[in-house]
Structure 1
Amino acid sequence: MTASVHRDVSTAAPTPDVLRDLLTTMWRIRAFEERVGALKRADEVHGLIHLSIGGEGVAAAVCRQLRDGDAVYSGHRAHGHAVAKGTPLDRTMAELMGREGGLCSGMGGSMHLVDVAHGFLGATGVVGGNIPLALGSALAAKQRGTDAVAVVFFGDGAVQAGLFTESVNLATLWRLPVLLVCENNGFAEFTPRSAHTTVERVSDVVAPYPLPRTTVDGNEVGEVWSAFSELLARARAGEGPALLECLTHRLRGHYEGDPDRYREAVSTEDWQRKDPILRLQRAGHDAGWLAADEPAALEAAARAEVDEAVAWARSSPFPAVARAAALVESGGAR
Structure 2
Amino acid sequence: MATMNMIQALNSAHRVTMERDEDIVVYGEDAGYFGGVFRVTEGLQKQFGKQRCFDAPISECGIVATAVGMAAYGLKPVIEIQFADYIYPGYDQIVSEVAKIRYRTAGEWSMPMVIRSPYGGGIFGGQTHSQSPESLFTHIAGLKTVIPSTPYDAKGLMIAAIEDPDPVIFFEPKRIYNGPFDGHHDKPVKPWSKHPASDVPDGHYTVPIGKAAVVREGADLTVLAYGTMVHVALAAVEEDGIDAEVIDLRSLFPLDIDTIEQSVKKTGRCVVVHEAPRNTGFGAELVSLVQERCFYHLEAPIQRVTGWDTPYPHAYEWAYFPGPKRMKKALEKVMAD
Smaller-chain TM-score bracket? 0.3 to 0.5
User: Normalized per residue, which structure has more helix?
Assistant: 1
Which structure carries more relative contact order (alpha carbon 8 Å, separation 6+)?
A: 1
Instruction: Calculate the TM-score normalised by the size of structure 2.
Output: 0.43
